[in-house]
Amino acid sequence: MNIVQALNNAMDIKMAEDNDVVVLGEDVGKDGGVFRVTDGLLAKYGPERVIDTPLTELGIVGMAIGMAVNGLKPIPEIQFQDFIYTAMDQIINQMAKIRYRSGGDYTVPLVLRTPVGGGIKGGLYHSQSGETYFAHTAGLTVVSPSNPYDAKGLLISSIESPDPVIFLEPKRLYRSQKADVPEDKYTVPLRKANLLREGNSVTLVTYGSMVPTVLSTVDKNGIDADVVDLRTIAPLDKDTIISSVKKTGRVVIVHEAPRTLGVGAEVSAMISERAIEYLYAPILRITGPDTPFPYRLEDYYLPNEQRIMAAIKKVMEYR
């Protein structure tokens, strides 16, 4: 399966298992979604459970929150994460806070899915990576898979979560990543990072779209590295990161989103607070620059092997 097929399979399994699971969004029904992630679900489960909505992101999220509070398990889709900002009031002031505002009397068990990031020549309004806005909001779990197996298992875990999950799908990995994925139901735990490679010289912390780039860089150049795929951006799996840092003493963080106040900044601060005495070199970040996403310079904007290797070399040679 590729990631599109894995996500579709996850929703199919949960919709067959639980009549309270519903899908809603722009073109998710007849057209199967802008990237065809919901393809076939309308024919199988009908228009009362696969709902085409008007072009109103604020309305989609608000309706999904109302559904969730009243016992359903909605999976709203926003066509591009860039469009989600018109719904931020519903996300930050309602979705994230209803459990706390009601003292636990009401919860919001929904999964807000949206494609994220660049790599498909979408330009500055279809390529942004805004995970830090959501990670900064208490009450939200923020997930970003990097491969088909994790995509299916993480989405099922998210649907079964009693609280809201922001599910960020790297659009450039949708069909470029393929793997053997079990047809049957399984879960991948939320809030747990994955140690993809084990080494002793340096720790590479990454997630989402950058995971294949980091893995190919490490493998191609024979780097003796731990590669940590966060999988859940918020809350962080601090134990896995710190355990690796205590072993290697050198850290490079790689993500596509802009540098300032990004996830890399939080990971770096957390390591500094908990394991600074184990570090042999400054922590380095390889990220997108602090500019709007450039259409013509997409390949320059996105972290690549050359930039990652320069950072690895710098921390390895630091004295």
Q: Got the DSSP string for the chain?
A: -BHHHHHHHHHHHHHHH-TTEEEEETT-STT--TTSTTTTHHHHH-TTTEEE--S-HHHHHHHHHHHHHTT-EEEEE-SSGGGGGGGHHIIIIIITTHHHHTTTS-----EEEEEE--SSS--TTS----HHHHHTSTT-EEE---SHHHHHHHHHHHHT-SS-EEEEEEGGGTTT-B----SS-----TT--EEEE--SSEEEEE-TTHHHHHHHHHHHHT--EEEEE-SEEES--HHHHHHHHHHH--EEEEEEEESTTSHHHHHHHHHHHHHGGG-SS--EEEEE-SSPPPSTTHHHHS--HHHHHHHHHHHHH--
pTM surpassing 0.95?
A: yes
Q: What is the pLDDT of residue 120?
A: 87
Rounded Cα–Cα distance for residues 242 and 228 (Å): 11
Catalytic residue from among 113, 126, 171, 255: 126
pLDDT higher than 90, residue 225:
yes
* 303: confidence class by pLDDT, cuts 50, 70, 90: very high
Give residue-wise pLDDT tens across range 49-93.
Answer: 999 999 999 999 999 999 999 999 999 999 999 999 999 999 999
% the chain with pLDDT above 70:
100
Mean local confidence (pLDDT), 189-196: 98
Q: Quick one: how far is CA 145 from the chain centroid?
A: 5
Q: Are 207 and 146 in contact (CB under 8 A)?
A: yes
Quick check: is 126 catalytic?
A: yes
User: Closest Cα partner for 228 from 270, 182, 184, 187?
Assistant: 270
Mean local confidence (pLDDT), 161-169: 98
Rounded Cα–Cα distance for residues 68 and 165 (Å): 12
pLDDT higher than 90, residue 253:
yes
Q: Which two tokens stand for residue 213?
A: 């780039």
Q: What is the pLDDT of residue 123?
A: 87
Give the domains, in start order, of the chain with CATH numbers. Answer: 3-173 (3.40.50.970), 194-317 (3.40.50.920)
